[in-house]
Chain A
Amino acid sequence: MQGKGLIVNPFWSNIFRSRGYEKTLAYFLSTMPMFNKLDKRELGFLENIVHLRNYHSDEVVFNQGDIGSGMYFIRSGQVQIFNQDEHGTEVVQAVLEAGDFFGEVALTASRPRCASARTTEPTVLIGLFRSDVLEAVRRHPVPTAKIMLGLNRIIADRLLQCSLQLETLKRQQTLAKKQQSHE
């Protein structure tokens, strides 16, 4: 009896209806750029090595200078990345939304975090940590190699972008110097 224009009272909507594949963690992971080359079996394997963490709003994920041990994907919610300058005031670097990821530098080696991260609303994060990846390398080398390749691709892309930006900046600087000398 549900017509097209009929607004169904949410009380009567079937909450027991089976969730589609789009709602699963595996599907969410497959939408990440670094995991989009994995097949379903490998996604299922990945699902078993990540950790799902729930955060309240305004909760610290990590602080600048903490020793990082892994990266996070934002499943839902919002995360603010910020630095503190020497006066202690916060400088917001980025605001990340669902589908973004951060902290990937700490995944391969334990480096101090170069910025702090804090949630701004109730957030679900998916953590992928170094110790789990190392164990996965021993237990399932093939899918882990694919995961690491994807991560490598992302970091390489970022590096490329950075070097391009550096190039343009250098060019601008030399241009500015030339103009100064002309004047």
Chain B
Amino acid sequence: MNSQGGMTRAQVAVFYLVMTTSIASGIAIYSSASTATALLKTATAGLFLPVLISLIVSFLLDPLVQYVEGKRINRTISIFVVYIFLFLATSLLLLIIGPPNWEGMIQALKADFPRYISHSIKYLNGLLMIAQEHFPFIVNYDIAELISSTSQSFFGLILKETPQSAMRVASLLLLVPLFSFFFLRDSRRIMRSLISLTPNRYFEMVLDIYAHVSWQLAHFIRGRILEALIIGVVVWMGLSLTDIHYAPILGIIAGATNLVPYIGPLIGMIPGLIIAVVDLGTGGQFWWVLCVYFIIGQVILDNFILIPILISRVSNLHPLWVILAIIMGGKLYGVIGMMIGVPIASILNIIIIEIRQYRRTFNPYNRYFSSRGKLL
């Protein structure tokens, strides 16, 4: 009976039972862990954008809330006051000016779009002819066809996504004020409790670096958003002086693309220039449009007024990093990723620079650190 290495049959049975259950439960735990990460992924999938936008909104509103709070009003109530004020201001603005006719504009754009595309293709074909005269070996390369097909599919995608994005915008309108309310109210408390986790020895350093980084970040984000807003409004105003259609949409495009340094403004002016050429011809108005985009928008306003005032030089990124950030952002989150990739890279840059700065200035043994300039 009791063979098998001194174990009774019952013991062997129990042993096998324990082994199989442990293996089974191990597999179950492993698979549920992978499904848990998958679940986590699906659960947080749509949240990235609202959280990001509410963070940005709370950065923008923080000075206003602080101003109201300075009148000896409780912070929660100050946030409500700012919200109500903003709501009233927007509705007043809409009442006075009247909402721009977005829907009509989009319908008209849908009708006009093929015309713009075909014109630009014609122009590109002309260019191609000239190029082929000088470089005969590119005869068989059909750029025009490529552009027309990609732009058609791109525009079709936009039209298809419009109802979906309307849903998304509605949910954003609900979520963003809610999230940013809590960010505004509790961000200090959250950050304090996070910082208080650091060991005693590094506490002072972490607190100092956090204060520097958050100051820089707040300025950077506020500056970027304000810059985009001002550029958008100025382009809108400037284009409204001509007979060009879709000035509001072009203004929005100019403002949004202005978030991406170096490349963004150039891309932002392409639609405006195409529409100007097609509708207005290459007369005086075209040159005025170019002037609005390039000289007023970029050179005078952006380079000489806005960037020096709003954005510190600290956050300047090397062009190579800008391109890398755009590509990586695009891989991760598509068009939105392209737009926010560069700001996020700049934020990382600010954090790294602040930490290096802190170590260099504030370390008495700084002979151990290299005295070379910026890393990035």
**B200 near A59: Cβ-Cβ < 8 Å:** yes
- Whole-angstrom CA separation of A61 from B364 in the bound complex: 17
| Chain A residues bordering chain B, tally (CB within 8 A) | 26
- Whole-angstrom CA separation of A51 from B207 in the bound complex: 11
B203 on interface, CB distance cutoff 8 Å: yes
A65 on interface, CB distance cutoff 8 Å: yes
- Whole-angstrom CA separation of A51 from B211 in the bound complex: 15
Instruction: Tell me which of A55, A61, A67, A70 has the highest count of chain B C-beta atoms within 10 A of its own C-beta.
Output: A67
B196 on interface, CB distance cutoff 8 Å: yes
Interface string of B247-274 (1 = CB under 8 A from A): 0000000000000000000000000000
Instruction: Select which of A59, A68, A112, A134 is within 8 A of B204 by beta carbon.
Output: A68
Instruction: Select which of A68, A127, A132, A141 is within 8 A of B203 by beta carbon.
Output: A127
B208 on interface, CB distance cutoff 8 Å: yes
**A53 near B362: Cβ-Cβ < 8 Å:** no
Return chain B residues, CB-CB under 8 Å to A70.
204, 207
- Whole-angstrom CA separation of A69 from B362 in the bound complex: 11
Return chain B residues, CB-CB under 8 Å to A141.
70
**B69 near A53: Cβ-Cβ < 8 Å:** no
- Whole-angstrom CA separation of A135 from B66 in the bound complex: 11
List CB contacts (< 8 Å) of A19-72 with chain B.
Answer: 51, 53, 55, 59-62, 65-70
**B364 near A112: Cβ-Cβ < 8 Å:** yes
**B364 near A65: Cβ-Cβ < 8 Å:** yes
A61-B200, A112-B364 are known contacts. Are A69 and B207 too (CB-CB below 8 A)? Answer: yes
Return chain B residues, CB-CB under 8 Å to A62.
204
Shortest Cβ distance from B69 into chain A, in angstroms? 6
**B200 near A55: Cβ-Cβ < 8 Å:** yes
- Whole-angstrom CA separation of A66 from B364 in the bound complex: 7
**B211 near A135: Cβ-Cβ < 8 Å:** yes
**A110 near B200: Cβ-Cβ < 8 Å:** no
Return chain A residues, CB-CB under 8 Å to B205.
69
List CB contacts (< 8 Å) of B188-202 with chain A.
Answer: 192, 196, 200-201
- Whole-angstrom CA separation of A110 from B209 in the bound complex: 13
Return chain A residues, CB-CB under 8 Å to B363.
67
- Whole-angstrom CA separation of A55 from B196 in the bound complex: 13
Return chain A residues, CB-CB under 8 Å to B203.
51, 53, 127
- Whole-angstrom CA separation of A55 from B203 in the bound complex: 12
Considering only CB atoms, which chain A residue lies closest to B365 in the complex? A65
Considering only CB atoms, which chain A residue lies closest to B358 in the complex? A67
Return chain B residues, CB-CB under 8 Å to A129.
204, 207-208
Interface string of B221-238 (1 = CB under 8 A from A): 000000000000000000
Return chain B residues, CB-CB under 8 Å to A135.
211
Instruction: Select which of B66, B192, B200 is within 8 A of A53 by beta carbon.
Output: B200
Interface string of B61-72 (1 = CB under 8 A from A): 000001001100
Return chain B residues, CB-CB under 8 Å to A51.
192, 196, 203, 207
Shortest Cβ distance from A77 into chain B, in angstroms? 13
- Whole-angstrom CA separation of A51 from B193 in the bound complex: 10
**A134 near B364: Cβ-Cβ < 8 Å:** no
B210 on interface, CB distance cutoff 8 Å: yes
A51-B196, A65-B364, A131-B210 are known contacts. Are A60 and B70 too (CB-CB below 8 A)? Answer: no
Interface string of A146-172 (1 = CB under 8 A from B): 000000000000000000000000000
What 5 A-B pairs come out closest when comparing CB atoms?
Answer: A131-B211, A67-B362, A65-B364, A69-B204, A69-B208
Extra pairs beyond A51-B203, A67-B204, A141-B70 (20, CB < 8 Å): A53-B203, A55-B200, A60-B201, A61-B200, A62-B204, A67-B364, A69-B204, A69-B207, A69-B208, A70-B204, A70-B207, A110-B208, A112-B364, A127-B203, A129-B208, A131-B207, A131-B211, A132-B207, A138-B66, A139-B66
Mark B residues whose CB is within 8 Å of A: 66, 69-70, 192, 196, 200-201, 203-205, 207-208, 210-211, 362-364
11 contacts between A and B (CB under 8 A): A51-B203, A51-B207, A67-B204, A67-B208, A67-B362, A67-B364, A69-B207, A70-B204, A110-B362, A129-B204, A139-B66
Mark A residues whose CB is within 8 Å of B: 51, 53, 55, 59-62, 65-70, 110, 112, 127, 129-132, 134-135, 138-141
